Amino acid sequence: MTTNPTRGTHATSLHDGEIVEENDFGSMRRVTADNLPILNRLSIKRVLLNPGAMRTPHWHANANELTYCVSGTALVSVLDSYSEFASFVVTAGQMFHIDSGSLHHIENIGTDVAEFIIAFRNERPEDFGLGATFGAFTDAVLGNTYDLPSSDMARIRRDTTDRKLAARVGDPSVPSTAYFHDPHKFDIEGQPAGLTYAYGNARFARDQYWPALKDISMYSLRVGEDGMREPHWHPVTAEMGYVHHGDARMTIMNPDGTLDTWTMTTGDMYFIPRAYPHHIENIGTDEWHFLIFFDQPFPADIGYKASASAYSREVLAAAFNTHIDDLPAFPFTTADPLIVRRINPTD
């Protein structure tokens, strides 16, 4: 058994990720399977929009999108199938979901930088920008589409390059209905914590609370310096996490018996394939906050605490090749706690 002290296989920094676009309007960085080959069915992007800037209208050809607003105030518009249109305002701690193929845009309508962490349900998401797709067709074709002379379309500057970030001209146009409830939107940080302990808590964005989710979900997990995410695995669910704040250590076991152990800090992201055992421990002096995305609408896990209760001491002794009298006094539990108290110093 070996331990790899690096994070190269499973993790990297999203803040230093591949630059998709970066200019006076903001920036877009991502980590896909091209940058982190272990990614499968999930990838991640960080978008910063300066005041008055927008992520222009676009759609994703092969991936549903789940977005968490870290800071700022933004207007999101969505055109779904059957001409169903919605626009809504999101602020820090709120989320939104966009179906693959649905046209949408994100516009900073506040006075501060707006930051978003976006998870995609594909390791290599494909995008189409609305402006770029107009460059695919002739003036005559577009004129026929809108019942206009082709000369009208010739006035629009068009090519097939997607201008992902752009500036708004004038004040934002925000309909009054944008402040109402919308099924695309979910206020995860406004929900009561699904699990609460003295040393941590978790809030859940999954399909039992948010029916829009079909193949993706997210946990907002906070753990104090005296807490730890117990060792566990997700039988049919991959996990991709982003460190919003804090310092942590993670260990993952690979099928060949090797271990990857590394430390993470604000801005880092990681990926764990389905059913790989892993744990996360706070090694800082402050509470850490993780955004954890899953490739299922309702993730499930099996934890070590309940696993020790599932078998007789005779079976456990055989599994550990240990005399039965030397086994610890494992406490009996039928349900894993998700977060456990750290009573021992970090080793």
Statement to judge: residues 148 and 196 lie in one domain: no
Q: Is residue 347 part of a domain?
A: no
Predicted pLDDT at 345: 85
Number of domains in the chain: 2
Task: Give the strand pairing for 73-80 and 84-91.
Answer: antiparallel
Domain that holds residue 165: 3-172+182-186
Statement to judge: residues 81 and 164 lie in one domain: yes
Statement to judge: residues 134 and 210 lie in one domain: no
Looking up residue 18, the CATH number of its domain turns out to be: 2.60.120.10
Which residues, 6+ apart, have CB-to-CB distance to 325 below 8 Å? none
Which of 124, 155, 186 is at the close of a domain?
186
Is residue 229 within 8 A of residue 280, CB to CB? The reply is yes
Statement to judge: residues 164 and 236 lie in one domain: no
Q: What is the pTM of this model?
A: 0.95
CA distance linking residue 162 with residue 158, whole number of Å: 10
261: left (phi over 0), alpha (psi -120 to 50) or beta: beta
Q: Is residue 177 part of a domain?
A: no
Task: Give the strand pairing for 239-245 and 200-205.
Answer: unpaired
Residues in the chain with pLDDT values less than 70 = 1-8
Q: Is 175 helix (H, G, I), strand (E, B) or coil?
A: coil
Which of 123, 156, 186 is at the close of a domain?
186
CA distance linking residue 246 with residue 255, whole number of Å: 29
Which of 137, 155, 186 is at the close of a domain?
186
Q: Is residue 23 part of a domain?
A: yes
Phi and psi at 325, nearest 5°, equal -70, -15
Statement to judge: residues 243 and 277 lie in one domain: yes
Statement to judge: residues 286 and 327 lie in one domain: yes
Express each pLDDT in 61-119 by its tens digit. Answer: 999 999 999 999 999 999 999 999 999 999 999 999 999 999 999 999 999 999 999 99
Statement to judge: residues 92 and 196 lie in one domain: no
Q: Is residue 225 part of a domain?
A: yes
Q: Could you give the angle at the alpha carbon of 252 between the alpha carbons of 197 and 259, nearest 5°?
A: 140
